[in-house]
Chain A
Amino acid sequence: MMSKTDAEIRFGNMAELHGTKVQIPYLITEKNTFKRMDDEDKQQETQSPTMSPLASPPSSPPHYQRVPLSHGYSKLRKSTEQMHPAPYEARQPLVQPEGPSLGGPGAKPLRHQASLIRSFSVERELQDNNSSYPDEPWRITEEQREYYVNQFRSLQPDPSSFISGSVAKNFFTKSKLSIPELSYIWELSDADCDGALSLPEFCAAFHLIVARKNGYPLPESLPPTLQPEYLQAAFPKPKWECALFDSYSESVPANQQPRDLNRMEKLSIKDMADVPVPTQDVTGDDKQALKSATDEALPKDMSEDSATPKDSNSLKARPRSRSYSSTSIEEAMKRGEDPPTPPPRPQKTHSRASSLDLNKVFQPSVPASKSGLLPPPPALPPRPCPSQSEQASEAELHPQLNRAPSQAAESSPAKKDIPYSQPPSKPIRRKFRPENQATESQEPTTAVGGPASVATVKPHPTVQKQSSKQKKAIQTAIRKNKEANAVLARLNSELQQQLKEVHQERIALENQLEQLRPVTVL
């Protein structure tokens, strides 16, 4: 590309200069008030060791792999600055991975820059990493790669084939970035401009979207680590096997620190997504363990093996919950692109999650409560009234709801109606009371004794507590399901509208085509 050759030429000249002098043209051309002095210092640190390897013309992409990307990046930046000084300076890419908020004036110290990075919820331990490898956000970590490939597979089962433009458009539109930005990201990532994304192109696009969502400004051109050749070389076509990790292992040491940064990205995404369950773990955690858990959780979540040497020790902390959080974050970003995942999450194997001990709740109570308590609660959403149920899901659940009372064998169906018209938590409890009454009256062969016997029988209170906890858990799960349903319904309606618009456009185009045809006949 022209810009790169220009940059290389320019850099060749600058390579002879002392490290400090390299910064000067950069400073002159840069109008944004990034902390220049500190940039100098910082870049001196990073670039002085890299001066010698870069003195030779850096023409090949593998070279970029070996060298910390800060320098290659500054080259790109300088080249684009030369070409478009005014508009692009406002989008200084990732020498410092700050967000758009950093346009402010003043020479902020490096620490402040780090604090800004902290605003993206980076752990304090990562500050040094961030400063020394400012361009590493463009490097895809193993976990991210796995996730991207997973997403690719969800759209296109064959990993060696392409995702069509429209499919990719729908997918990336869910990330809620603006259309011009998405258009630009597509432009960057679709290297061969064929209107379809191959796997490396898709990973690059996804990574750019992730970065953009984290506030990183988009680069002027595709970073070297995101180019398809690089991605294909570093990450051979995935088969979801350890082979992938083996091939990656050699570049792992080089990526350790970048992975921290990417973990930072993941965590920032997490914060953005604000997932309740894992954040409980997050807040209680030491950030170090958090970071390491994150790092480990994703590979655990995506595949069985984890070849991350750095954090294999502190890994075991809370991998499962972390993995749920990270997947949920991506899902939150993509708004339900993985519909199956969010609903089961709170209910299923939370073996290590301390927030909801559903397993403990479920397992002992399953044998305990034979009054049909378990089957009805999942089907017992707090529907106010049949007339008020707007969504189809509610309607579906309603018949189950009706079934539940019958199963509960209560003697007062009227009481059931009242709970239905009330907020979620109450109907369960009320159901519980008629349940108790029913059991009291009928004395079925259940472990859930009557309320009268609660005080006397010791195992019963615990069972009731467990079942109430379990019910609360189920309620929360139901609530989340409803939210997910609402989101999906909204998304559906939006997509329907888009589809209509597209249809209209198509009709309009066809009309135009028809009108144009007679012109040529003349």
Chain B
Amino acid sequence: MGWILVTSAAVILFLQNYPLYIRSVPTENELKFHYMVHTSLDVVDEKISAMGKALVDQRELYLGLLYPTEDYKVYGYVTNSKVKFVMVVDSSNTALRDNEIRSMFRKLHNSYTDVMCNPFYTPGDRIQSRAFDGMVTSMMIQVC
């Protein structure tokens, strides 16, 4: 149950509701992002429980827009191992389409899987993989 937060701004990846990976582009509002992400975690949990089915496919991994605030949109994604990816993007970024968000989450998920493949990485650690960092940076640059 990790989650990743990506804002125009930040990326936070959480496991069991504590962060595995946090990344924000403008760093000044980080606290606000953290707060938003924590509240969004509840929404994610709600959606997970609402799903309730045994089979979860790729589409259901993507949770879509969790809730829009006045400034930001929060998107969620959950993996089969209950790792949550949360992305917060600026509302001014109207250019971002749903499928773009999906593709970003897919990339995140793939990178996360690659991190998992590393035998020296124990699940639950903070993610320090440079490849992961690079991917997230490129994504955030693209978003901003």
Which A468-522 residues have a C-beta within 8 angstroms of B?
505, 509, 512, 516, 519-522
Select one of A186, A194, A521 contacting B52, CB under 8 A. Answer: A521
Chain B's closest residue to A165 (CB) is: B119
Does B6 touch A at the CB level, under 8 Å? no
Residue of A nearest to B1 (CB): A516
76-120 of chain B: CB within 8 A of chain A: 82, 113-114, 116-120
A102-130 interface with B by 8 A CB criterion: none
A149 at the interface (CB under 8 A from B): no
Other than A165-B117, A183-B121, A195-B116, give 10 A-B pairs with Cβ distance below 8 A.
A166-B119, A169-B119, A169-B120, A180-B128, A186-B119, A186-B120, A190-B118, A194-B117, A220-B130, A520-B49
Partner of B49, one of A180, A509, A512, A522: A522
CB distance from A75 to the nearest CB of B (A): 17
Q: Indicate if the CB atoms of A520 and B120 lie closer than 8 Å.
A: no
Q: A interface, how many residues as a size bin?
A: 20 to 34
Query: Is B39 on the interface with A (CB-CB < 8 A)?
Result: no
**Whole-angstrom distance from the CB of A286 to the nearest CB of chain B?**
42
Q: Is A83 an interface residue (CB 8 A)?
A: yes
> Is A455 an interface residue, CB under 8 A from the partner?
no
Looking at chain B, what size class is its interface with the partner chain?
20 to 34
| Majority DSSP secondary structure for residues of A touching B | helix
> CA A176 – CA B53 in complex, angstroms?
46
- Most chain A beta-carbon neighbours within 10 Å: one of B54, B129, B138: B129
In the complex, the chain B residue whose C-beta lies closest to that of A186 is B118
**Cross-chain pairs A/B with CB under 8 angstroms, 23 sampled:** A2-B138, A83-B134, A83-B137, A165-B117, A165-B118, A166-B119, A169-B119, A180-B120, A183-B129, A184-B129, A186-B118, A187-B130, A190-B118, A195-B116, A505-B122, A516-B1, A519-B48, A520-B48, A520-B49, A520-B51, A520-B53, A522-B49, A522-B52
Interface residues of B in 36-60 (CB under 8 A from A): 45, 48-49, 51-54
Q: Find chain B residues with CB under 8 A from A520 CB.
A: 48-49, 51-54
* CB contact list, A171-201 vs B, under 8 A: 179-180, 182-184, 186-187, 190, 193-195
CA distance A169 to B82 in the complex (A): 26
Nearest-Cβ distance from residue A180 to partner chain B, whole angstroms: 6
Chain A residues close to B by CB (< 8 Å): 2, 83, 165-166, 168-169, 179-180, 182-184, 186-187, 190, 193-195, 220, 505, 509, 512, 516, 519-522
CB distance from B1 to the nearest CB of A (A): 7
For B135, the closest partner residue in chain A by CB is: A2
Question: Contact partner of B114 among A2, A193, A519, A522, CB < 8 A?
Answer: A193
Assembled-state Cα–Cα distance A505/B122 (Å): 10
- With the chains together, A186 CA to B122 CA distance in Å? 13
Q: Cβ of A509: which chain B residues have Cβ within 8 Å of it?
A: 123
B131 interfacial contact with A, CB 8 Å: yes
Name the CB-closest residue of A to B49. A522
Residues of B near A184 (CB, < 8 A) are 129-130
| Residue numbers in B under 8 Å from A168 (CB-CB) | 119
Docked-complex contact B118 and A187, CB < 8 angstroms? yes
Say if the beta carbon of B16 comes within 8 Å of chain A: yes
CB-contact partner of A512 in B16, B113, B118, under 8 A: B16
Closest to B53 in A: A520
Contacting residues, chain B, for A194 (C-beta < 8 A):
117
